[in-house]
Amino acid sequence: MTVLEGPSVRLRPLVPDDYATVFGWYNDPEVVAPFDRFSVDTMDSFVRSVEAAPTDRSSLAARFVVERKDPPGVVGFVGHYLPHPVLEYVDVWYVMGDRAARGKGYGREAVRLLVDHVYATSSVDRVGATCDVENAASYRLVEGLGFRREGTLRSALFHHARWHDVYVYGITRAEWTARARPG
Ligand SMILES: CC(C)(COP(=O)(O)OP(=O)(O)OC[C@H]1O[C@@H](n2cnc3c(N)ncnc32)[C@H](O)[C@@H]1OP(=O)(O)O)[C@@H](O)C(=O)NCCC(=O)NCCS
């Protein structure tokens, strides 16, 4: 099992004991709203997608839970995927399901571990993230890791009954390697 250790959190693959918690977060509008639409239909489809993800580079399923070390507990989940059939880059996404654990740096630490993992296990040069322009927590998280805002996709995401603009962020392998740590 791949376990990625940081100072305050570790990332580890989901195990069956995590399914109810993470499935609950996926489907809790208080967790994902107002910025996205991560909801899945049924527990069965959720489990199928999580278990198929390791062999599907384009899978949107959660890849790791974020486990806080002190006090111990699962506080979030993250994923990475190939978003485009031709372009070669990986996008990362991240949810701190435990809302009481937000704003303490765990999200940024988790994404730092995730990006390290993507670069260590693939040959991609660019890692990206897309963030609703209204989601300051999401884009500030990646800005703090050195991602650059590369542009805006207009009306690219539909949720909560309207279209939303989305910022495109990215970092290259050379930029990531050159960053001072921790950042
Ligand atoms: C986005 C999210 C993962 C951030 O996780 P987190 O653990 O709270 O983030 P961190 O504590 O590491 O903080 C990261 C940055 O966001 C800022 N931030 C945190 N919460 C914020 C808020 N509510 N509003 C504005 N900025 C916020 C922090 O100040 C920090 O930026 P700074 O260092 O420039 O000050 C979390 O808010 C979340 O799960 N949101 C719902 C799901 C979501 O929107 N996911 C992103 C989709 S890709």
**Residue 104 alpha carbon, nearest atom of ligand 1:** 11
Q: Which residues are CB-neighbours of 94 under 8 A, at least 6 positions away?
A: 76, 77, 78, 79, 107, 110, 111, 114, 138, 141
Domain 4-178: assigned CATH number: 3.40.630.30
Q: What is the pLDDT of residues 36-94, one digit of tens each?
A: 665 657 899 999 999 999 999 999 999 999 999 999 999 999 999 999 999 999 999 99
Query: Of ligand 1's atoms, which has the minimum distance to the CA of residue 130?
Result: 48
What's the pTM value of the predicted model, to 2 decimals?
0.96
Q: Taking CB atoms and a 6 Å cutoff, what residues make up the pocket around ligand 1?
A: 32, 35-36, 93-96, 102-108, 131, 135-138, 140-141, 144
Looking at the chain, the whole-number percentage of residues with pLDDT higher than 70 is 93
Domain boundaries, the chain: 4-178
Specify the pLDDT at position 153.
98
